[in-house]
Chain A
Amino acid sequence: MHSFGYRANALLTFAVTILAVMCAMASLSDNFNSPTPSAQVQVLNINWFQKHQDGNDEVSLALNVSANLQSLFTWNTKQVFVFLAIEYETPMNSLNQISLWDGIIPAKEHAKFWIQTSNKYQFVDQGSNLRGKDFNLTLHWHVMPKTGKMFADKIVMSGYRLPQEYR
């Protein structure tokens, strides 16, 4: 009954159980946080707007992104992944979502930021539908915990429009 093996086994089981319970509690404690993030995005300029040889439109945008995501951080937050996606509808596609800029926020101190950038990833349509197109800019964030469940949410900003002519 009280052999070495039994004691080692009991100790290991107990330690793993406690660790699992603590991880679960840390993850559940995230639910008590109700964040109030804010964001603004301006399109400063259309750097270029053209039609490729294969018939797809490409746009390069200059953007000004400012956001305050500090309230997303809790003690169980490892990082927040934030990205700005352009979202629009075309006759062929019910949804087109293209990430224009993204970043990793490692700590709460960096969660209030302001950045001026061109789009980091190519903004290419499937087809030639972008002239005069209305689009939404959406700031998404994905909260990666130290352990447990991941959270995601977004702020949709609408009312943007691309020019009628290529330039």
Chain B
Amino acid sequence: MGFVGETIDSIKSIQIRQLLSQTVSLGMIVTSALIIWKALICITGSESPVVVVLSGSMEPGFKRGDILFLHMSDDPIRAGEIVVFNVDGREIPIVHRVIKVHERKDTGEVDVLTKGDNNYGDDRLLYAQGQLWLQRHHIMGRAVGFLPYVGWVTIIMTEKPIIKYILLGALGLLVITSKD
């Protein structure tokens, strides 16, 4: 029997009180994850404080599957910074480096041009039709820190949803059958 038998026995022996307490602990896990995420949004000022690199356009600096930590402060944007931006008409944000900055004297508005380190040309081909510059409102944050490989988890889960369901099922079973 071993592991499987024990698991089945423990499911059979569930009582109402135990079920309730496990639901509560599962709820605690979910809400604490939510709290951490929202707190990060508050601290960093960026609407998505952590992003996963999806393309190889910044190699060898950032590879596919790396995680970037973003920060959005009121500091002006300067050349050389790695920014995450959204282009009108594109859903997926892009992580590239700023190569040109023109900052207005009267309004403080900026015109920014970006380029991927591993790309040959600048990003004007990626921008919306006829768009020459990015403005402040396109930019979601600048990359300040970096963690390799961890993002593969999310890439695999979005590309192979079946693995996500298996993982969720296994975790759920683990929570239900745990005896604390």
Which residues of A line the B interface, CB within 8 A? 3-5, 9, 23, 27, 78-79, 81, 83, 85, 91-99, 102, 104, 106, 121, 126, 140, 142, 144-150, 152
Contact = CB atoms under 8 A, between A and B. Distances in A.
A150 B11 CA distance: 49
A94 B104 contact: yes
Interface of B: 3, 6, 60-62, 76, 78-82, 97, 99-105, 108, 111, 115, 117, 122, 143-148, 174, 177-178
B156 to A, nearest CB: 17
Nearest to A140: B80
Nearest 4 pairs of A and B residues by beta carbon: A99-B99, A97-B101, A97-B79, A94-B105
Contacts of A144: 61-62, 146
A142 B111 CA distance: 21
Contacts, number: 90
B71 to A, nearest CB: 11
Given A98-B79, A99-B79, 17 more contacts: A3-B6, A5-B177, A23-B147, A78-B60, A83-B99, A85-B80, A93-B102, A94-B103, A97-B101, A98-B101, A121-B122, A140-B79, A144-B61, A144-B62, A144-B146, A147-B147, A150-B82
A37 to B, nearest CB: 15
Nearest to A149: B145
A91 B104 CA distance: 9
A97 B81 CA distance: 12
A93 B99 contact: no
Q: Is the interface of A mostly helix, strand, loop or mixed?
A: strand
Contact of A83 (B79, B102, B104): B79
A150 B143 CA distance: 8
Contacts of B146: 144-145, 147-150
A142 B148 CA distance: 17
Contacts of B144: 149-150
B117 A104 contact: yes
Contacts of A92: 104-105
Nearest to B97: A81
A82 to B, nearest CB: 9
Contacts of B104: 92-94
Contacts of B178: 5
